[in-house]
Each structure stands twice: as structure tokens, then as C-alpha cells.
Structure 1
Amino acid sequence: MRTAIFSDVHGNLPALELMILDASPVENWICLGDIVNYGPWSNECIDLIASLENCTVIAGNHEDYFISGQYESSNVSKQFFDFCLPRFNRFEQIKSLPSAIVRHGFTFTHTLNNQNIYPDTKIALDTNYFIGHSHHQFKTENNGFILYNAGSVGQNRKYINVVNYLVLDSDTGKVEMKGFKYDDSILIDEMRRIGYPSSCIDYYDSKARLK
């Protein structure tokens, strides 16, 4: 049985649509959170993920921020939050999401200890994990356990124009690390069209892109 595992869509509907096309067909979907914020399509991303058959969604920190209505930051991320929150209206769909599930010998959760976990992060594992949050796709092992980071669908922090996700085959135990390049100009064009602050547009414009 094949399960597509993805995270950190961040309101990027074109990237999400392409990921779904690339991953299909699979029997199950698991979203590790942070569907909302940053991009202009938080509502539409919630709806599309809800339409997937056999899809489980985990809460991310940005779902928590939207529910609380509070985001403590003084940098550009607060400007994204202030722009995106008033346009969001799918609160019923995100208010009761689980923080973690256990399947196939793995714990699926958004992150561990609210940390950004990177390939070189020192962390003592106590079980096998699938996580997201840091927007970097990788696999690491210690203490006899494995951690996979799904990376980001909608806001890759290595190359902004790359979509990452994972596919777990529960029959064989194999995990495929998936990624592909896409044209992110449609995202930035929509941000300009609906009036995002220039600092938010500059954030995306300034990121490295895979040639």
C-alpha cells in the first residue's frame, strides 16, 4: 500500500495540484501540517486536501497560529500572517486536527519539540518519525531509529521552485524521496495581483531557484 506524505503547502495551490498529479495513484495521503499562510490560496488548499480520498491531516504550527489569531514576530513572516489571516475562512476544518498519528511503525507529526530540524541537527530519536516544518527534505538515523523530513510542497527553503514529498510503501517499507521543479511565477503573479506587501513579494523573489 502506497502513501504519499507531504507537508508545508503554505497556501500554494499550483504546487499542491502538481504534487497530487505527480504522486497519483496512491492509496493514502498524509499531510503533516502547515497547509495555510504565506501563499494566497489557503482556503483552496484546505478544500483540495479535504477532497483527497483516504487523507489524514496533522496540525502544523501555522494552523495553530490561525486558530489563535496570534503570531509573535516582528519580521516579514508577521506581514504574511497579517495579510493572510483576514482572508481565511476554513476554521472549522482546522480546529480539531490531531498533533500526531502512529502508523506503519512511524510517528507522523509536524515537528519535534517545536524545532526546525535540519540534516545536521543533533537530536536523539526515540522512535521512527515522519516530520516537516523546516522545509528541507532529508533522511537521518540515530539510536537505531529513522527520521524522514518530507520537505515542503509550497515553500521549499533550498530552491523555492521545487516541490518535495515522500511516498511510503508499507508492504516493502521503502520510502521514496520525491521532488520536481515547477514554474513558481504564477504564485508571485497572484500575490502581486491581490496586493501583498512588497516585502512579502520580495521574500519569494529573492529565493534561490533550481535552474
Structure 2
Amino acid sequence: MRTLIYSDVHGNLPAFEKMLKAEEKYESYVCLGDLVNYGPWSNECVELANSLYGSTIIMGNHEEAFINGYYPGENALVKEFFNITYKEFSLVEEIKKFKRKIILNNFTCTHTILDKYIYPDTDIELTYNCIIGHSHHQFEYKNNGYVLYNAGSVGQNRKFIDTINYLIYDWDQKSITMKAMPYDIKPLINEMKNRGYSDNCMAYYLSKKRANLF
């Protein structure tokens, strides 16, 4: 039995669909949050995640923002993305149903820990095994006899913007495999242009490092 664990799709439907097409026949799926905002397909990504067999979805900070109707942070660019994507979002009642955490065998799955961004070089004292997202960086971290996995991001990888990251949990082997695959970012960029994203928002994606040439 295997579970596909993913996070931070952020409205990037082409990346989400590519991952699911490449990784078929899983017994269950866990989303660690932030299906919405940034990309232009927040509704579609929520619908697709909900449609997966054995799907469990955890609430991220961007779902919380959509529920509350405003983005609480100070980052002006994130607010700009929010103002574009929130006005088209129609599934607030659905995302209210998302969970805060789940237990996956001996791992606690949450969007993050203590609302912090946990990066590969973050010094953190672990007191349990955990699987998180939020920082858009995939890594494994061991401390105090425990292990933390960050699933990375499906739709807005902050190492290489055109790379999809996710995890596979094997229940029989009790093991986690970190996975990565490339995708073509052009359909995302084109749809953002079609929907009238600002120059600042476009520049955010266009300026990011890429690992692949399409």
C-alpha cells in the first residue's frame, strides 16, 4: 500500500495534473495544504484534490486567507496575487472542511510547525516524526532520533520553478521516497497573461531559476 503526499500546488493545475498522471494507482493521497492562490486555477485544484480516491486535505495558510477573505501578511506581492485569485474563488465552504493535521502511521502530517517556514538549514528540535510543506523546499532532516520530511511544492518550487516535488509513503516498507519531476511552465505563464496578472506577478514566475528547457 502506498500514499502519495504532496503540498503547495498553489493553483498550478498543469503541474498538479502532470504529477497525478505520472503517479497512478495509489491507495490514498494526502495534501499538506495550500492548493490555492498564486496560480490561476485555485477552484480546479481544490476540485481535483477532492476527487482523488482516499484523499485527505490539510488546511494551509492560504486556505485560511481565502476563508477569512484577506491575506494577513505584510508581503505586498503576495497580497497582489491574493487580490487576483480570491475574486475568482468559489469554494470557500469546501476548504473549510480541510483538516488541521492527520496521523500517517508514525508520522504527524501538518502544513508546517508552529506557523514557521522550515528550510533545509533550519535548526529545529524535533519531538516527533513529521511531514510538512509550506516552505516549498523538499528535504529530509533528522534530530533527536526523529525525522522530518518536507514534501516541497508541486506548483511553486522555490529551488527550480519548473520542478514538481512530492513524497511517496510505502506502508509495507514503512519508508518515504522523495520524488521530483520536470514540467513545462509555459501553459501556466500563458494563462496568467490571459487572466490579466500584473507585471509584478508575472515577473515573480519569470525570474525564478529553471532546471529544465522545454
Scaled by the length of structure 1, the TM-score of the pair is 0.98
In the alignment, the residues of structure 1 paired with residue 159 and residue 170 of structure 2 have an alpha-carbon distance, to the nearest angstrom, of 26
1:110 corresponds in structure 2 to: 111
Residues 12 and 170 of structure 1, relative CA distance in 2, 3 Å threshold: same
In the alignment, the residues of structure 1 paired with residue 86 and residue 170 of structure 2 have an alpha-carbon distance, to the nearest angstrom, of 36
2:39 corresponds in structure 1 to: 39
Equivalent residue runs for 1:1-12 within 5 Å: 1-12=1-12
1:59 corresponds in structure 2 to: 59
**SS of the residue 2:87 aligns to:** helix
In the TM superposition, what is the alpha-carbon distance from 1:25 to its structure 2 partner?
A: 1.6
How many equivalent pairs are there? 211
Q: Give CA-to-partner distance per residue, 1:84-138, whole Å, 9 cap, x none.
A: 1110001111012111011210000000011110111011111100100000000
2:68 corresponds in structure 1 to: 68
In the alignment, the residues of structure 2 paired with residue 103 and residue 74 of structure 1 have an alpha-carbon distance, to the nearest angstrom, of 33
2:211 corresponds in structure 1 to: 210
In the alignment, the residues of structure 2 paired with residue 149 and residue 40 of structure 1 have an alpha-carbon distance, to the nearest angstrom, of 25
Mapped pair 1:50 → 2:50: yes
Equivalent residue runs for 1:132-147 within 5 Å: 132-147=133-148
In the alignment, the residues of structure 2 paired with residue 19 and residue 190 of structure 1 have an alpha-carbon distance, to the nearest angstrom, of 19
1:20 corresponds in structure 2 to: 20
In the alignment, the residues of structure 2 paired with residue 62 and residue 52 of structure 1 have an alpha-carbon distance, to the nearest angstrom, of 21
Q: Give CA-to-partner distance per residue, 1:156-184, whole Å, 9 cap, x none.
A: 00000000000000111111111011100
In the TM superposition, what is the alpha-carbon distance from 1:38 to its structure 2 partner?
A: 0.2
Query: Aligned Cα RMSD in Å?
Result: 0.8
Q: Give CA-to-partner distance per residue, 1:39-65, whole Å, 9 cap, x none.
A: 000000011111100010000000000
Letter in 1 for 2:71: Y
Q: Percent identity?
A: 52
In the alignment, the residues of structure 1 paired with residue 104 and residue 29 of structure 2 have an alpha-carbon distance, to the nearest angstrom, of 12
Letter in 1 for 2:79: K
In the alignment, the residues of structure 2 paired with residue 109 and residue 128 of structure 1 have an alpha-carbon distance, to the nearest angstrom, of 11
In the alignment, the residues of structure 2 paired with residue 209 and residue 61 of structure 1 have an alpha-carbon distance, to the nearest angstrom, of 26
Scaled by the length of structure 2, the TM-score of the pair is 0.97
1:94 corresponds in structure 2 to: 95
In the TM superposition, what is the alpha-carbon distance from 1:24 to its structure 2 partner?
A: 1.3
In the TM superposition, what is the alpha-carbon distance from 1:26 to its structure 2 partner?
A: 1.0
